Amino acid sequence: MSEHDGPVHTGGEDTSTHLSTDDCGCGTACDVDVDADVDSAAATPPPDGPATDLAPNRAAFGVPEMDCPSCAGKVESSVRRLDGIGDIDPQVTTGRLVVEYDPEKATLDDIKTSIEGAGYAVDDDPTTRTVTLSVPDMDCPSCAGKVENALDGVSGVLEYETRPTAGTAIVTLAAETDLSAVVTAVENAGYEVTGTDADDLSDSDGDTDRSSVWRSTRALKTWVSGAFLAAGIATEYIFGIELVVTTILSVSFTLPEVLYLVGAGIGGQEILRNGYYSARNRSLDIDLLMSTAIVSAVVASLISAPTSLYFEAATLAFLFSVSELLERYSVDQTRNSLRELMDLSPDEATVRRDGTEQVVPVEDVVVGDVVVVKPGEKIPVDGTVLDGESAVNQAPITGESVPVDKAAGDDVYAGTVNEAGYLEVRVDSAAGDDTLSRIVSMVEDAQANKTEREQFVERFSGYYTPFMVAVAIGIATIPPLLFGLDWVTWFVYGITMLVLACPCAFVISTPVSVVSGITSAARNGVLIKGGSYLEAMGAVEAIAIDKTGTLTKGELTVTDVVPLNGNSEEDVLRCARGLEMRSEHPIGEAIVSHAENNNLDGREVSAFESITGKGVRADLDGVPHYAGKPGLFADLEFDLRHTHVTDAEDALSDDLRSLCNRQGCLNLVEDTIPRLQDEGKTVVLVGTADELEGLVAVADEVRPDARATVERLQSFGLSVVMLTGDNEGTARAIAEQVGVDDFRAGLLPEDKVTAVEGLLDEYESVAMVGDGINDAPALATATVGIAMGAAGTDTALETADIALMADDISKLPYLYELSHQANHVIRQNIWASLGIKALLAIGVPFGLVSVGLAVLAGDAGMTVGVTGNAMRLSRIQPDE
C-alpha cells in the first residue's frame, strides 16, 4: 500500500501535565502522566473545517470517548509505543485524534488497534472514509505510478492503494475532503474515472463501454495511423514518389514524409498526451519515453533536413499504440477472471412479504426475509432452507462438481444454482456479507498483497529504467562525438534503446500470474488469500494433516461396548451418556447420540469437569464418575491388566472369550485395548473412582479418497505427516490405511504446534491442513495454514492462509499443482522478459534491432507473452 510523504503539520504547543481524577472530571480513575497537546483544540480546526488541516502521512481517527485530557494521555501513550509515530494531536473537545506516522513502519490498522488497546472505541465514519475509484485505463505499474503521484497532491487524501490488475484505486480520505477533487486529480493525470462506489459521483460519467478494446477510440486512431504509415511506405518504396508537396520555414516535405507525419500525429496523440501527464507528475515511464522518442525523431528531422526520421516516428507511434491495445486486451482477460466471480450472484431476488411475492434488488433484502427460489434460478443470498427439497449446484462456492441435496434446515449460499426443486430460504446474511461476497473481497485483497518476487521486481525496475535511459543517451551521443560516426544512425539506435528502457512486461510478469492463479483457484473452491501464500504453497516440502475431519470424515460412531465387573451394556452406555452430555468433543457427541438412538434414559448430572487431554469427570446421581483415555484410569491407580468381564457370552472375539473363560478376566492393557486400537478405534473407559464399569469404542470412517490424495501428494515429492490426538495404536492403524509417510500420535492442541515446529526444523517449508478452528495455532505456525470445509465458517475463512471451501481433501493435490506451476510461470515470465530485453539491447548497437522490432518484441510481444503464459494457470483443474 502506498502512502504520502508530505510535510508535517502540527497543531499546537506541547506541554507536560500530571492530572488526577479530580482534575479531568471524567469520572474514571485515570491518574496518569500525560504528554498531551492541550492547546491543540484551539489551534486546529474542527472536523467540519477546511480540508487543508490534514497533510500527507497524517491520519485522523474519531475517538468519541476521549473526552478529557487524561483520556487523551492514555490514548497518546498507547499510540506512542508504535514505531514510526511522529506528532500526535489529541483533540479532546472534538473527540478526534490526528497522528503523523511513517507508513513504512506503521499502518492505519496498527494505530487503530493501539487506540482500542487503550480502551477507547474508534469511530472512523466522522473523520475518514474509503472510496474505490474505477480507473480502467490504469492497466500497468507505470500508469499506477502516475495516479499515485496525482493523489499525493490532493490535500485530505490519507492513504491509497492502486490495483492495476483490477483497474481500481482505493483511496482513504478525510471525511471533509471533496471526492470530486480526487477524481479531478486522477483525470488530470490522464486517466478517466468511470465510476466509484460512493453516492456522490455518478457512474454514468465517462465512457463505460469497454466491450471491445479493438473498437475503442484509441483503436480507431491506431488503425488510421497505420493506414497513413502503409500509404507512406507504398508511396516511397513501391511507387518511388518523392514529390515535394510543401515547404515550411525552408524545410521541404515530400509526399511520403507528409503521410508519415500525419500517421505519427494521429497515432501519437494519446502517447504524447500521456507523456505530458507523465512529465507533469515527474514519472519516468513508458509514455514519457515514447513521447521523447517520437518528438526527438521529428525534431531531428527538422534540424537536419534533408535527413528524415519521419518514418521512424510514424512506425514508433503506430506500433506502440498497437502494443498498448494488446496490453489492454491482455490485462482485460486477467480482470475478466475476477469479474466472472462477481457476476455469479444475481442482482434481484423474489421475496415473500405480507403474503405476496415481489421481485426486489438483492441489496434491499434484509436478514429474516423469506426468499423464493424456483428451479434453475440462482440463490441470491446466504440462508437456511425453510421449505422444499432440491439439488443445489454449489460449484461456484465449493468447486464441487456434483449437486448437493438440500432440504429444510440445510444451509445454502448466494451464487449457487437451484437445479430442480422449489425452495423457500430464510435470509441469514445481508447482501455484501454473504460467503460469495467475502470470497470476492478476499480475492481482491489477495491481489493487492505483493509477493517477495513482486517487490524485488519493482525495486529492480526503479534502477533499470534510469540506467537504460542513460545507456540510450550514451549510444546516441558518444559514437558520433568521439568517433565521428553517423549521428543519424546512432540517434536511431538511441531511440531504440529508449523503447527498451520500459520494464512493463517485466513488472507485470508476477502480478498477472498471481491474479490468474488466485482467481482460477477461487472458481474451483479454493480461496488463496495472497500471492505470497500462492508462492509459498508451491514451495512446501511437507504437508502435515490433522486426522479428524480431514483424512477421516469426522463423524464418529460407537462400534463396541464392553461391560465389566457386573455391569450391563445398558449401564455402561447410560453412564457414558451422562458423563458426555456436556462435553463438546466429537467422541462425546457420538456416545450421546448412540445412547439416545438406543432409547436409554439419562442420569442426573452435576459437577461436570473437563480434564484437558484425558477425559471428563461428573457426578451421576451424586456418585463421582469418570470417562476418558486409559491413561486417566491409570492415574486413578486402576489395574487395567486384571478386569472381570460381566458375561462371557457378550459379543467378544473368540480369542478374548477363550481367554476370559480360562482366567475369568481380561488384560485390557495387553489384549482388548490394543485389539480395538489396531482396528483404528478409540477406546473410552467408564467408571467410578473405585470400579471400572466398562469401555466404549468409537471409530471415525476414513474418507474414500484419502489414500488417493496422499498418494497424489507423494507423487509430487511431498512428505505427508498425520497429526492426531489419538493413541499410538489407533494412529498407526489409520496411518497405514491412508498411506502417510509418518504420524504423530497423542497430541494435545498445543502439542500440534510443537509437532509443526519440529517439521519446520526438518523441512524448509511445511503446510498444515486442519479445520481452521481447533487447529488455528498449528495453522499459524506452519509456513502455510490450510483450512478445509470453510464455506459458511467465518472463523476458518479469517484464520487460514488458504481455505478449501468444500469438505473435500481431494483439492489438496490441485492446490499444490496450481501453486507449484504458478511459481514456474512467474520465474519463466521474469527471466523471459529480462532475457529478451537484454538480447534486443545487445543487438541495437550492431544494427540488428530496429525500432519496430524493439516495440513488437520487447514491449507488445512480451506483454502479451507473459499474460498469456499466466493465463495457462486457469487450465489446471482438480482431478474428478
What strand order describes the sheet that includes 615-620?
A: 552-563, 692-702, 681-688, 623-628, 615-620, 605-611
- All three cell numbers of 367, joined, read 436478514
* Type of residue found at 295: V
For cell 485530505, the residue is 156
What does residue 78 show for φ and ψ, rounded to 5 degrees? -65, -45
**CB atoms near residue 388 (< 10 Å):** 17
CA distance 47 to 572: 70
What does residue 709 show for φ and ψ, rounded to 5 degrees? -65, -45
Given a contact cutoff of 8 angstroms between Cβ atoms, the answer to whether 320 and 140 are in contact is no
Q: Which of 546, 560, 775, 808 is catalytic?
A: 546
CA distance 715 to 263: 58
Please give the torsion angle defined by the CA atoms of residues 302, 303, 308 and 311, in that order, rounded to the nearest 10 degrees.
-50
- List, as one string, the DSSP characters of 808-849: -TTHHHHHHHHHHHHHHHHHHHHHHHHHHHHHHHHHTTTT--
Given a contact cutoff of 8 angstroms between Cβ atoms, the answer to whether 158 and 112 are in contact is no
- All three cell numbers of 157, joined, read 487524501
Burial of 726 (0-12, 13-18, 19+ CB in 10 A): buried
What does residue 36 show for φ and ψ, rounded to 5 degrees? -115, 155
CA distance 270 to 287: 9
Burial of 447 (0-12, 13-18, 19+ CB in 10 A): buried
CA distance 680 to 564: 22
- All three cell numbers of 198, joined, read 460512493
Given a contact cutoff of 8 angstroms between Cβ atoms, the answer to whether 727 and 745 are in contact is yes
- List, as one string, the DSSP characters of 615-649: EEEEEETTEEEEEE-HHHHHHTT--TTSB-BS-TT
- All three cell numbers of 449, joined, read 498483497
Reply yes or no on whether 137 is catalytic: no
Q: Spell out the SS3 assignment of 43-94.
A: HCCCCCCCHHHCCCCEEEEECCCCCCHHHHHHHHHHHHCCCCEEEEEEEHHH
- All three cell numbers of 310, joined, read 519521419
Q: Closest Cα partner for 560 from 461, 455, 449, 680? A: 680
Beta strands in 650-783 (DSSP E): 681-688, 692-702, 719-723, 742-744, 766-770
CA distance 650 to 647: 6
CA distance 501 to 492: 14
Q: Closest Cα partner for 290 from 311, 269, 317? A: 317
For cell 471533496, the residue is 178
**CB atoms near residue 47 (< 10 Å):** 17
Given a contact cutoff of 8 angstroms between Cβ atoms, the answer to whether 418 and 378 are in contact is yes
CA distance 804 to 790: 6
Q: Closest Cα partner for 643 from 597, 590, 685, 676? A: 685
Active site residues: 546
